[in-house]
Amino acid sequence: MSDDDDTKDTPKLPAIQGRILDASVEIEQEDPLEIVYQHSLFCQVALPRRRPEGRTFERSYRNGSVCMEAGKLWNGHQWVEQPLPAGPKPRLALMHIHSQAIKTRSPYVDIGRSCAEFLDRLGLNTDGGSTYRLFKREMKALAACRLTLGYTEAGKIITLNTQPISRFEAWLTPDGDYAPALWPAELRLSQEYFESLQEHAVPLDPRAVSALAHSALALDVYSFLARRLHSLQKPVKVTWHQFHAQFGQEFKDWRNFKQEFIPAVRAALALYLTAKVEEVTGGLMLHPSLPPVHAASVAVSHGLAAQVRATLPAPLAIKPLKPVTVERFRTLYPRCDPYACKDAFDAWLDSKKPPCSYDAAFMGFAKKWIKGKF
């Protein structure tokens, strides 16, 4: 029987699952050639998943809340109301804007030809231009959108008004009319937002972004985990109610939200291979994890590989555990696999100085690992 005949006996995976599986395999085998970025703010505060009925949208997050207001753009003759950005496309649009600004180190973003290239790179510009048109619409919605942040800092209650895009240019037709079908020419990030982006840009793997581009919720989960996990110092439990408040306010019942949220988490984890997340009673336990994109990969994408590699610690040689250490581990933690713990320890140790005693450091790590696991 030929290989082609074998495939007939195997049920085909749905297209989305197949795309996620293919991307996962590629991510495991090789580093990305380019990086995309999301601002840490939008890793914590999700845009609307579906178009709200009104002109405002509010979303709570860990330490505060954000209010989004739909705005207007001048068409040369009058102000034209824009909708609130919603769905996967504005998330992709933000990633493109941020990536261009980081790459060029400039708040001015040329969004003409570069957007088509961005969609092509993600493999999303294959439907005869429909995705391209939707992408343009959401880009204009983002340009007009206003954000108001409310949060607590150092015992003070703060309200901050911000608009990420301070200038938006679009082409006109020869007779001076605004041409909505034409692609906008350039936008400028506000200086405050651009400076914040340079400090708080979160690198993401474009293959993961492409595989999750069908789902606003999956993109939100992936971005959230990319920012949160590598900044943790110890395991943290996040309840379903907390996730519901942060990502699912469109759902009145958190149980309905959970039914959609868990598949999104699984999809994100299939592509964030170093993430350490486990389901526990009442929510998820988040463990300190390596970021989805290594610093060296970020450097290569910016042509800075030599400089960054010089700052990275030399890779540690893989050391075996002494038999007495394995026996001691199994005596103390009979229900746990010492080599699974060792894998986690080696990953954690990768960014640390080599310990004086590998086995002693391993046993110290094991205590915390066990507490985080149960």
What pLDDT, in 10s, does the model give residues 57-85?
888 776 778 889 999 988 778 898 999 99
β partners of residue 65: 60, 150
pLDDT of residue 204: 94
Q: In degrees to the nearest 10, what's the CA dihedral of 150, 152, 153, 158?
A: 40
| Close Cβ partners of 187 (under 8 Å, ≥ 6 residues apart) | 97, 108, 109, 111, 143, 165, 167, 168, 169
Whole-angstrom distance, CA of residue 283 vs CA of residue 280:
6
Q: What is the largest CA-CA distance in the chain?
A: 84
154's tokens = 């150092």
pLDDT mean over 125-134: 68
Whole-angstrom distance, CA of residue 158 vs CA of residue 145:
20
What class is the 215-312 domain?
A: mainly alpha
> Pick the residue with more confidence: 12 or 365?
365
37's tokens = 């970025």
β partners of residue 94: none
Kindly tell me if the per-residue pLDDT of 115 is higher than 80.
no
Q: Name the residue among 289, 288, 362, 285 with its Cα closest to residue 326.
A: 362
Q: Per-residue pLDDT tens for 156-212?
A: 888 878 778 888 766 544 444 444 444 556 788 988 888 888 888 999 999 999 999
Q: Per-residue pLDDT tens for 151-162?
A: 776 778 888 787
CB neighbourhood size of 62 (10 A): 12
